[in-house]
Structure formats: structure tokens, C-alpha cells
Structure 1
Amino acid sequence: MWPRVLSSSYPMEAHYFMVPKFALSLIGFYPEQKRSWALLAWSFFNFSILTYGCYAEGAYGIQQIPINIGLALDALCPVASSILSLIKMLSVWYYRDEFKSLIDRIRQLTEEQHSDRKLGYKKSYYTLATRLTALLLLCGTCTSTSYTVRHIFENMLRLSHGKVWIYETPFKMNFPDVFLRLPLYPWIYALVCWHGYITVACFVGADGFFLGFCLYLTVLLRSLRDDIKDLLQLECKGIEVEPTVQEEKRIVREMVKLINRHNEIADLTERLSGVMVEITLAHFVTSSLIIGTSILDMLMFSGVGIIVYLVYTLAVTTEIFLYCLGGTYIMEACLDLARSTFASHWYGHSVPVQKMTLLMIARAQRVLVVKIPFFSPSMETLTSILRFTGSIIALAKSVI
């Protein structure tokens, strides 16, 4: 049984960017939040924690490379995700006005779709977006928590064998010695744990934005397909009818509106590419390295360490899967729009209607994609990434 908040019976309006809104509001970076001095201070605090965490993890990992490759990978694996989260945090902040505009406009367009079929699309895709981003939130939270549990568990074992507690943080970081001694140690420990959850909130928010925008644009494309099919229908109660001259003029006017709707959807996709380009490019470039490193860590560690990196691998794989799934949904909706329009009864209408229909078919065949340099988010891209990841793992195992 799904929790009600993840079920299709939950109000559709509440599903709209529900998980990204929760994650980014938690750290003060959701674009629709009202900016105040208190919120700005909280945002800067979280930015500072994440920034220093990236530096401290990276410094520790680089320092350990010639000493202990296992400890080095244990630090450098999560720091890659932390740096990506920092990029996502900065991008969401820099493009906050554009994100807010996109959220508002797509909300308005989807609310205009009222038929039973369109409400079915909305219920299906809205619920899917919430469930998948909730899965990502769960994987990320479990990953961050597992680092803390691992450290506490290992120290409890040490105490049970008469050894002393090791004063270090759950994520391997460089700190001045004074911060790793009482009375400051508990506060530093809590801040490092919070650093992990800030990382989770950033990638859940940014990745949830990408998936949500893709699925909501898919709803608009599916709705547009239905409107075109219904408009060009020549049958009434199973009997084919001949449209009148006035009816044909009305169809031409409606087709102009539908083409304008398609133009706006294409424009929204272009705007989405503009605000997500840094996030998506960084994610695709580093995804193989992050997944490969986490699997290597899983192979090198034992006990609780295996569980930690198993959960971590699931989290980072889920991230890249959501990007590829969202891009695939948009491309398939565009192709379905072209096929459905061509399969309609457009050939039974007047020449002006036929010209408008052919224009729509030609435009729909130009598949809408979230453009990023070198990559196109799709399931084929995911397959290539996983293949390349396997090559990285095989190479690393032969060297280490």
C-alpha cells in the first residue's frame, strides 16, 4: 500500500513539484519561497556548510591517495556528489526567477486541461513524478544516514573491545585538531551530518525539477495530441459527416491555436534547457565516475561498508535514471503527437486544414529534447553510461 501522499487519490495540485519543494524549502532555496533576511541567512548558512564540506572531503581524499587508497576513495566518492550538489544549489539560486516563471506557466497550462482523459494523464504523470522523486529522497536519506550509522557502529565495536572512541566525522574530512576534541566535537559531528542532508536536498530538488518539468510537459503534449485528434474527427456516432465551409474555417482557427500551443511547449522546453544545462552537463559527465567509484568502494569494504556503498550506488544510479527517463518521455510524446496527427482524418478536410495539419506534423517530427552539450537524456544514453561505468570498474580493478 502506498502512503496516501504518494497515491493517485491525493489532490493533483498538491502533487505538483511536491518533493522538490519540500527538499529545497528545507534549506531555503525553493524559487517560490518569499525572500526574507532570515531565509537568506539560513540559505547562506547551508551554502557555507556545503562549500566547506566539499573542500574538507576533497582535501582529505587527496591527502590519503599516496597513503591509503581505500580511505582516499572513501572520501572522494561522496565528495563528487557533494560538488555536484553545490553546482545544483548555485544553479537553482542563479536561475531562481526563471525557475519560478517556468513553474507558474506550466502550472497554468496544465490547469487548463479539463477533460476526463486529460485529468487521467495529469493524475498518472503527477503521481509518477512524486513517487520517483520520493524514491530518490529515500535513497539519498538512507545513504547519508548510513554513513553516520557506520561510524557509530564501528566505534561501538571498538568500545566493546576496550578500545577508545575515534574522534572523526562520519564523512572523511580534514578539520583542525581543536574541532575534533571535546567540547566542540559533538557540534562539528552534527554539522557534518547536516552537510550530508544538504547534499541530499540539493540533488533531490534539482533532479526532481528536471523530472517534473519533463513529465508535466509530457502531459501538455498528450493533451495537445487529443485536441488535434478530436478537432479533425469526421465521424459523429459512427457516421462519417462532411464538414461545412463554416466548420472548416472554425477548424483552421482552432488549428492556429493548437500550433501556437505547440510553439509555446517548444519554447518552454528551450527555456528548461537553458536553466538546467549546467546541472545536467555536470551530472552526465561525472555519472560514470561516481557510479564506478561507489561500486569499487563496495567491493573494497566489508561489513557495514558494503551496505553503505550499496545504498549509495542505488542513489546515484536512480539520479541518472530519472534524467534519462524524463528525456525519453518528452521524445516519445513528440513522436506520438506526429504519428497520431498523421493517422487522423486530416485528408478528409479542405486544403487549408490539410496545410495546417501538415505544418503541425512537420513541427512535431522535430523532437523536443532538453539540449545539453554532447548528451541527450534518454534511455539509450543511460545504457551507454552504464557500459562506460563497467569499463571504468574493470580498469580500476586491474590497477588497484
Structure 2
Amino acid sequence: MFSFLKRSYPVERHYFLIPQMAMSAIGFNPEQERTWPVRAWSFFNFFVLTYGCYAEAAYGIKQIPINIALALDALCPVASSILSWLKMMAIWYYRDELKWLIQRIRKLTEQQQSERKLEYKRNLYTLATQLSFLLFVFGIGTSTSYSIRHLLDNMLRLSHGKDWTYETPFKMIFPDPLLSLPLYPFIYALVHWHGYITVACFVAADGLFVSFCLYLTVLLYSLRDDVFYLLEVKDNKQEATAGEDERIVRQLERLIDRHNEIAALTDRLSGVLVEITLGHFVTSSLIIGSSMIDMLLFSGVGVIVYLVYTSAVLTEILLYCLGGTYITEACLDLSKSTFSSHWYCHSVRVQKMTLLMITRAQRVLIIKVPFFSPSLQALTSILRFTGSLIALAMSVL
């Protein structure tokens, strides 16, 4: 059942496997035909998520002067819900651009067919699927654990002769008639589905980000190999003939065009994902800190709920930082590999073109986000700031 997590799984079927499954589940897949049933389903999910954000926020704000623990229990997941709403809107607004990027990068990666390049694709495509699936597991586990916690609490109440509490898994405000029979089971199911919509948005957006980064890394690795083999001098030959030199110039021009296109794709990707990435980096410390505070405040099943939730949030921010790091290192590797080639054994024209390519590669490609650059260094800074927030909050509480 989990064969798609193995390297033996067909490479072509790995391509955006988990993100597209998540987007299709809520009706927001850019490559999905926009039939009326799909549009109706996507609008329904948008409405459920929107009302869920409002209901959670209203409940948490109302409970702040009454019970700070209950307030945090509602406000912690609402931060993720609002961020999921932002990601849903970004995927819908940029659906045409995302469709073009998905198809264009697919075409470029399919052109890389050597044995070495296929190994790059197999490794990085599998890694993208595994990371996206890891986030999916933690997300589903978090959403399901909220419902399990509520059911276990009520079963414990019934065992002590108390009445069932007509509340929802996520703390939300609803009109009283909706939280009583016969409508209560329907509202309970809607709130539970609200949690899965949140998970689907996270898996879709975060999976798209890390997958795009790893697929661009494949293109950079392939370009590195092509440049190195093109400039390689065989049989200790010091000078190339005029015909060979012209052939090398033409091929090098095509490789430079490929490098320029990869840079252009990265810029277009930055424009599409800037709101998602910025929102995630801005709120990451707050979400991680609040979930860990809740984990310290609660006991029993509540600890498990927020342990899984914290793992899911940490996985999300890790995907962004890991994806940015892969692109940065691939650019630097391209520069070092090109400089280590036999570029100095060719004509002056080839040498100038090669040096310009080295200079361009040293300007690493990044997903441009205001105030942030997705990298593992940024992850350590976020975790340090999160620790400060936790210490400050616990001293106040």
C-alpha cells in the first residue's frame, strides 16, 4: 500500500503525487477540470474552512478573560486554520500560473534521461514524496487526535455518571440549536472535516513548495553534469579545432539558456508562493510556541494531541527550510563544478562564457521572501526565537 514511498516506484508517478492528491481532495487541483461538481465542492470546503476560522477565533477570544487554558486550546489551532485559508486562496488565485509551472518543469525534467540524471530524479522525487507524506501523516494524526480526545473525555464522563458534553472537537462557537440533537452529529462531522481541510491545504501548499525546490535541484544537477562533460578535455588535448570550438560554443549557449530559464522559473515560483511562504515564516514561531505551551498546560490525552501537533508544525517549517537549502547548495555546486572543469583549455570565447556562467551561478537562486530566506540557518533562528516566546509565556502564566 505504501509502495510510493520506495525508490522502486515509477519516477513519473512521483511527480507532485501527495500535493496533487491533497488539492484534488478539496477541489483545488490546478490541473483538475473545473466542472460544476468540482466548483461546488471547492466552494463548500472554502465555506467550511472560513466559518471554522471565525468560530475558533471567536471562542478563543471569548475565553481569554475566563479560562486561559481553554482560550489557548482554541487559539492554537486557529492560527493554523487561518494560515490554511491563506494557502487555499493563494492556490486558487495562482491556479493558472501553478498549472503552467507544473507542466513546464515536468517537460524540462523529462528531457533529462541519462542514467546519472535518472538517479537524481529517483532520489529527489522520492524524497519529495516522503517529506510530503510525513507532513500528511502528522496532519491527519493531529486532526484525528482532537476528535479522539473529545470522545475519550465524554466516555470518561459517562462512566462517572455525568452527561455528554455537546461540544465540537475543535473549540468553536455555534448557535445553541446546532449543538443539540438531532443536528449535533452533523455539526460534529463538519467540524471534523474542517480539520481535514486544514491538513489538505497545508499538505498541498507545503508539498508544492518542497517539490518545486527539489525538482529545480534536479535541473541544476543535470545542468552541472552537462557543463562539466562539455568542457572536459580528453586524451590530454590542449587545443580544439575551429569546428570543435564552434560546436562547444553553440552547446554552451544552450546550457546558458537552460540556466537562465531555471532562474526565471525560480523567480516566477517566488511570485506565486511569496504570500504562503511569508505567512508561514511570520507565524511559525507563534504556532510552534503556542502548541508547546498547550502541551505543557494539558495532561493525559491532551499532551499526545499537542505533541503530534508540534511535530506537524515543525515538519512544515522544515520542508520550507530544507527546500531552500537544496536549491542554494545546488547553485553553489554548479559554480564549483564548472570552475573545476577544463574551461581554461578552450578558446578565449569559451573561457569568457564559462566565467560568466560561474559568476551567475554564485548568485544563488532562492525563493525570494521579504525579510526571510528559506534555509536551515533560518530554521535555527526560528527555533531560538520560539524558545524565547515559550519562556516568556510560561513566566507570565
Normalized against structure 2, the TM-score is what?
0.99
What is the match of residue 272 of structure 1?
A: 269
Aligned residues: 397
What is the match of residue 358 of structure 1?
A: 355
Letter in 2 for 1:168: E
CA distance in structure 2 between the aligned counterparts of 1:3 and 1:33, rounded to whole angstroms: 24
Structure 1 residue 342 and structure 2 residue 344: aligned? no
Find the residue that maps to 1:207 and give its secondary structure. Answer: helix
Letter in 1 for 2:346: H
What is the match of residue 394 of structure 2?
A: 397
What is the match of residue 105 of structure 2?
A: 106
CA distance in structure 2 between the aligned counterparts of 1:307 and 1:26, rounded to whole angstroms: 27
What is the match of residue 94 of structure 2?
A: 95
Structure 1 residue 331 and structure 2 residue 331: aligned? no
Once the two structures are TM-superposed, the CA of residue 5 in structure 1 deviates from its matched residue by: 1.2
Letter in 2 for 1:29: F
CA distance in structure 1 between the aligned counterparts of 2:27 and 2:241, rounded to whole angstroms: 58
Once the two structures are TM-superposed, the CA of residue 181 in structure 1 deviates from its matched residue by: 0.2
CA distance in structure 2 between the aligned counterparts of 1:359 and 1:242, rounded to whole angstroms: 21
Deviations 1:170-207 (A, max 9, x none): 00000000000000000000000000000000010000
Structure 1 residue 262 and structure 2 residue 259: aligned? yes
Find the residue that maps to 2:255 and give its secondary structure. Answer: helix
Letter in 1 for 2:85: L
Find the residue that maps to 2:299 and give its secondary structure. Answer: coil
Find the residue that maps to 1:50 and give its secondary structure. Answer: helix
What is the match of residue 81 of structure 1?
A: 80
Question: Which of 313, 316, 328 in structure 2 is aligned with 1:319?
Answer: 316
Once the two structures are TM-superposed, the CA of residue 243 in structure 1 deviates from its matched residue by: 2.1
CA distance in structure 2 between the aligned counterparts of 1:153 and 1:344, rounded to whole angstroms: 65
CA distance in structure 1 between the aligned counterparts of 2:214 and 2:199, rounded to whole angstroms: 22
What is the match of residue 252 of structure 1?
A: 249
CA distance in structure 2 between the aligned counterparts of 1:121 and 1:142, rounded to whole angstroms: 31
Deviations 1:130-182 (A, max 9, x none): 00000000000000000000000000000111111000000000000000000
Q: Residue 238 of structure 2 contacts residue 345 of structure 2 at CA under 8 Å; is this kept in 1?
A: no
Once the two structures are TM-superposed, the CA of residue 235 in structure 1 deviates from its matched residue by: 1.9
Find the residue that maps to 2:72 and give its secondary structure. Answer: helix
Structure 1 residue 58 and structure 2 residue 57: aligned? yes
Letter in 1 for 2:60: G
Q: Residue 138 of structure 2 contacts residue 308 of structure 2 at CA under 8 Å; is this kept in 1?
A: yes
Letter in 2 for 1:149: I
What is the match of residue 138 of structure 1?
A: 137
Letter in 1 for 2:270: S
CA distance in structure 2 between the aligned counterparts of 1:195 and 1:235, rounded to whole angstroms: 62
What is the match of residue 121 of structure 1?
A: 120
Once the two structures are TM-superposed, the CA of residue 3 in structure 1 deviates from its matched residue by: 2.6
CA distance in structure 2 between the aligned counterparts of 1:241 and 1:281, rounded to whole angstroms: 51
What is the match of residue 159 of structure 1?
A: 158
CA distance in structure 2 between the aligned counterparts of 1:334 and 1:347, rounded to whole angstroms: 21
Deviations 1:192-224 (A, max 9, x none): 000000000001000000000000000000000
CA distance in structure 2 between the aligned counterparts of 1:244 and 1:137, rounded to whole angstroms: 57
CA distance in structure 1 between the aligned counterparts of 2:287 and 2:188, rounded to whole angstroms: 25
What is the match of residue 219 of structure 2?
A: 220
Once the two structures are TM-superposed, the CA of residue 240 in structure 1 deviates from its matched residue by: 4.2
CA distance in structure 2 between the aligned counterparts of 1:147 and 1:341, rounded to whole angstroms: 53
Once the two structures are TM-superposed, the CA of residue 277 in structure 1 deviates from its matched residue by: 0.5
Deviations 1:322-356 (A, max 9, x none): 00000000000000000000010000011111011
Deviations 1:5-58 (A, max 9, x none): 111111111100000000110000011000011110000000000000000000
Once the two structures are TM-superposed, the CA of residue 62 in structure 1 deviates from its matched residue by: 0.2
Deviations 1:219-243 (A, max 9, x none): 000000000000000025xx54642
Letter in 1 for 2:319: L
CA distance in structure 2 between the aligned counterparts of 1:180 and 1:200, rounded to whole angstroms: 24
Normalized against structure 1, the TM-score is what?
0.98
CA distance in structure 1 between the aligned counterparts of 2:103 and 2:3, rounded to whole angstroms: 25
CA distance in structure 1 between the aligned counterparts of 2:29 and 2:354, rounded to whole angstroms: 41
Question: Which of 283, 286, 291 in structure 2 is aligned with 1:289?
Answer: 286
CA distance in structure 2 between the aligned counterparts of 1:271 and 1:328, rounded to whole angstroms: 18
Find the residue that maps to 1:235 and give its secondary structure. Answer: coil
Q: Residue 19 of structure 2 contacts residue 205 of structure 2 at CA under 8 Å; is this kept in 1?
A: yes
For structure 1, the 5+ residue unaligned runs are none
What is the match of residue 9 of structure 1?
A: 8
CA distance in structure 2 between the aligned counterparts of 1:267 and 1:376, rounded to whole angstroms: 18
CA distance in structure 1 between the aligned counterparts of 2:370 and 2:238, rounded to whole angstroms: 50
Structure 1 residue 243 and structure 2 residue 240: aligned? yes
What is the match of residue 385 of structure 1?
A: 382
Question: Which of 372, 377, 382 in structure 2 is aligned with 1:375?
Answer: 372
Find the residue that maps to 2:199 and give its secondary structure. Answer: helix
CA distance in structure 2 between the aligned counterparts of 1:240 and 1:286, rounded to whole angstroms: 58
CA distance in structure 2 between the aligned counterparts of 1:131 and 1:365, rounded to whole angstroms: 30
Percent identical pairs in the alignment equals: 71
What is the match of residue 167 of structure 2?
A: 168
Once the two structures are TM-superposed, the CA of residue 377 in structure 1 deviates from its matched residue by: 0.2
Letter in 2 for 1:116: E
